[in-house]
Chains A and B, each alone.
Chain A
Amino acid sequence: SQKIEQNSEALNIQEGKTATLTCNYTNYSPAYLQWYRQDPGRGPVFLLLIRENEKEKRKERLKVTFDTTLKQSLFHITASQPADSATYLCALDISGYSTLTFGKGTMLLVSP
């Protein structure tokens, strides 16, 4: 069955360091992959979309890579800040209907 896997353990890092989150998927070849941020009790907020023919995409302090051979995306936050603390979700269209299936998310905690 299709699966989207994100590390369920929280990632704790110090302010100023680079946070790297992983999203692995199996049994599918998505045309694109998306990353979202979710704060407690709120809806997810769209951050970035990367297409299968793009190796890397950047937006301010965010960088996403997409390796379709490894079936993996890495999400980096450089110069992390306590305000970056949140749960980060990756999402793929694995249905073929242009709907998103979400990973369960990884919580990032940035300490001062």
Chain B
Amino acid sequence: GAVVSQHPSRVICKSGTSVKIECRSLDFQATTMFWYRQFPKQSLMLMATSNEGSKATYEQGVEKDKFLINHASLTLSTLTVTSAHPEDSSFYICSATQGASETQYFGPGTRLLVL
């Protein structure tokens, strides 16, 4: 089956620093990738949708200047949390799909802790 990886799996950083999370589709080309955030005991919340070669579409309430998304190739998307603060601590999950109406394949998630 299709495999999506994320790196790192866990990251701890100081407040004010930036953190980059990578999402890779290992055995297929992902035309669309999604970024979700999950707080403890809450559901996954879609943050943004990115299509290869174009700007990401952010959900309402998600700061695009704070959560920078780049989808430069068909197998890699990155999420950069800029000037991270403790309230950004969360579980970030990406998913990828080969096209419209196709199944989303999810990565294992990245746990971010901002001190």
Judge: A and B partners, yes or no: no
